[in-house]
Amino acid sequence: MSVFRFSETDLAYVLTTSIILAFVFTSLRKRKRGTSKFPPGRKGWPLVGDTFEWFAAVASPHPPRFVEQQSKRFGKVFSCSLLGKWVVVSVDPGFNHFVMQNEGRLFRSSYPKSFRDLVGRNGVITAQAEQQKRLHGIASNMMRAAKLRSHFLRDIQLVMLENVCRFRDGQLLVLQDACRKVAINLMVNQLLGITSESEINEMSRLFSDFVDGCLSFPINLPFFAYHTAMKVGLHQSLNHPIYHHHFRKIACYSLFAAHQICAKDTLGTITYTNHVQAREKIVNKIVKTIESRRIASRGEVGNGVLGRLVDEENLPNEAVSDFIINMIFAGNETTAKTMLFATYFLTHCPKALEHLQEEHEKLKKGEPESLLSWEDYEGMNFTQCVIDETLRLGGIAIWLMREATQEVTYEDYVIPKGCFVVPFLSAVHLDENIYDRALEFDPWRWMDPKNKEKRNWRNSHLYTPFGGGARLCPGAELARLQIAMFLHYFLTSCRWTQLKEDRRSFFPSARLVNGFQILLNRRE
Ligand code: HEM
């Protein structure tokens, strides 16, 4: 007979005591986390944390809505729970700068395996440390101002004449699709040096599928973009990086971020075989192009970034192809959406549209086919203000994603190794304390001498549409040139009327939800 016999009351007592002890213990642990000064934040709902509120805000025309609310409660650097992970978020320009400047030391950008496999491991976006520095240096060199003037200016305008100047009178246009087509044509033309129309069209189609795949969640089932990118994508040649990217990237970067936070590679492993097959097809196609360039150039400077890479840099074929894929991913959606948003903002601000039209009318050449010079471009002062304002108000890269490579101390906070850190760039761009009437489209603000320092996007803490530090966008100047040329040719050849209400959303990537449907009238 046992001496220890419990009645039901005793059991209830033991259970209650255990629950209380567990509660006290958990509170103590929470307090311990408090003393280690992990940035404060709420836990949100079980499992999903703040995920829904985060993405609901990102899908709205004002993506920083959620982080603004949280920063009012917890401070400019706070934590929240996204897709089951604790993430440190910053709307503090100083901390954002600190994170970007410490790329490769305290922080690094990281992508899931499925994404790295798709865009290539040897590209600028996915590379780390010394390899990233080298590739970034090559990319910046390829697209510096002197090269834009000598290699890109003319070709960009030829693409505009082929596309934008061919819009018809009375045509109904979904401008979002048209801008995407223009941007992808620009990429194919300038990166691969392809000029034949049929080849550009073929490559553009494949790139387009590829970019969709990069910007999608890695679900390898029929009808999903990721599946198309891997199986079909590039099956005839190639089709964010990045990205997007851009990442889209990114950007596109909102998707990069979702990719990064979400359970890494769960589906990636299942799809590995298909993935490798499709990637091989893509690489094969590019490598063929590289080989024909090697033969064709024979020491002469080749066409496009690819031709110059082959001539000037000693890189193996696979590295060249990853490099090109990364650039296409990073440069395509970002540029296309900035063209689109600029037109959208101008449509809703007739005064700015009129001012811009005046600037471009003066530059318009008598002969329809004659091209603008570099001096013409340099004289586009108001156009530059429009581009800066579009990037501020509708910046495509709304946030960046980093991972702490070691325990990081910043002011009073300690961020543990491995923690994700999100510098929320657009929250700074839309902060009323930093920009007067921050939610209004006001290109003239950039003419104000008091904003001169802020405007310097290479170093400014308050204006970072192209990121900063070691990963500062190497295509920024090229993108600005492309957008300026698009505005010139679009404004001088067409007038338009918006047919359907529209609004911006940044989920799953930056877009206008109805694509911006317009009716065109050709201008003589
Ligand atoms: C308006 C257009 C663009 C915007 C807003 C933009 C924005 C950005 C941002 C914010 C980053 C930093 C990402 C990070 O730190 O994680 C970035 C990186 C990058 N961008 Fe752009 N970008 C644009 C156009 C382009 C173009 C046209 C190209 C090339 C053709 C390009 C190539 C790249 C590359 C290769 C990187 C990665 C650099 C690295 O990781 O070292 N971008 N871009």
- Is residue 237's pLDDT more than 90? no
Domain locations in the chain?
A: 41-522
ipTM of the complex as predicted: 1.00
Phi, psi (5° rounding) for residue 246? Answer: -60, 65
Q: Which CATH superfamily is domain 41-522 in?
A: Cytochrome P450 (1.10.630.10)
- 126 Cβ inside 6 Å of ligand 1: no
Q: Which of 148, 240, 335, 473 to mutate to test the pocket of ligand 1 (most atoms within 8 A of CB)?
A: 473
Q: Which residues contact 507 (CB under 8 A, 6 or more apart)?
A: 55, 58, 59, 254
H helix runs in 436-496, sequence order:
452-455, 476-493
The angle subtended at Cα 116 by Cα 111 and Cα 121, nearest 5°, is 120
- Is residue 295's pLDDT more than 50? yes
Q: Tell which atom from ligand 1 comes closest to the C-alpha of 250.
A: 13
Q: Number of helices (H) and strands (E) in the chain: give both, helices first.
A: 22, 14
| Maximum Cα–Cα distance across the chain | 110
Helix, strand, coil percentages (3-state) for the chain, rounded to 5, are: 55, 10, 35
Mean pLDDT for 42-51 is 85
Q: Could you tell me which residue, 328 or 428, shows the higher pLDDT?
A: 428
H helix runs in 396-499, sequence order:
425-429, 452-455, 476-493
Q: Could you tell me which residue, 255 or 389, shows the higher pLDDT?
A: 389
pLDDT of res. 224:
52
- 408 Cβ inside 6 Å of ligand 1: no
Label residue 315 by pLDDT band (50, 70, 90).
confident
Distance 132 CA to ligand 1 centre (A): 13
CA-to-CA distance for 401 and 423, rounded, in angstroms? 7
- Is residue 399's pLDDT more than 50? yes
pLDDT of res. 3:
36
pLDDT of res. 6:
44
pLDDT of res. 215:
56
CA-to-CA distance for 32 and 38, rounded, in angstroms? 10
As given in the structure block, the two tokens for residue 195 are 């000029």
- 304 Cβ inside 6 Å of ligand 1: no
Range of weakest confidence among 14-28, 58-72, 228-242, 363-377? 228-242
Average pLDDT over the chain, rounded to whole?
81
Label residue 239 by pLDDT band (50, 70, 90).
very low
DSSP designation for 38: P
In single-letter form, the type of residue at position 56 comes to A
Q: Which of 98, 134, 246 to mutate to test the pocket of ligand 1 (most atoms within 8 A of CB)?
A: 246
pLDDT of res. 47:
79
Closest by CA to 110, choosing from 274, 230, 262, is 262
pLDDT of res. 419:
95
| Closest residue by CA, ligand 1 atom 17 | 473
CA-to-CA distance for 237 and 206, rounded, in angstroms? 6
pLDDT in tens, 2-11: 334 445 555 5
- CB burial class (10 A; 0-12, 13-18, 19+) of residue 465? buried
Q: Could you tell me which residue, 121 or 272, shows the higher pLDDT?
A: 121
pTM comes to 0.85
As given in the structure block, the two tokens for residue 109 are 């950008």
- 471 Cβ inside 6 Å of ligand 1: yes
Range of weakest confidence among 46-55, 112-121, 181-190, 263-272? 263-272
pLDDT of res. 310:
84
Range of weakest confidence among 31-40, 45-54, 450-459? 31-40
| Closest residue by CA, ligand 1 atom 38 | 471
Q: Tell which atom from ligand 1 comes closest to the C-alpha of 249.
A: 13
Range of weakest confidence among 27-31, 301-305, 383-387, 397-401? 27-31
Mean pLDDT for 281-305 is 69
As given in the structure block, the two tokens for residue 358 are 């005046």
H helix runs in 120-196, sequence order:
129-142, 145-147, 153-162, 175-192
Label residue 372 by pLDDT band (50, 70, 90).
very high
As given in the structure block, the two tokens for residue 424 are 């929320």
Answer whether 213's CB lies under 8 Å from 228's CB: yes
Q: Could you tell me which residue, 430 or 329, shows the higher pLDDT?
A: 430
pLDDT of res. 160:
95
Phi, psi (5° rounding) for residue 519? Answer: -110, 125
In percent, the amount of the chain with pLDDT more than 90 equals 55
pLDDT in tens, 215-232: 555 445 555 555 555 543
pLDDT of res. 470:
97
Label residue 306 by pLDDT band (50, 70, 90).
confident
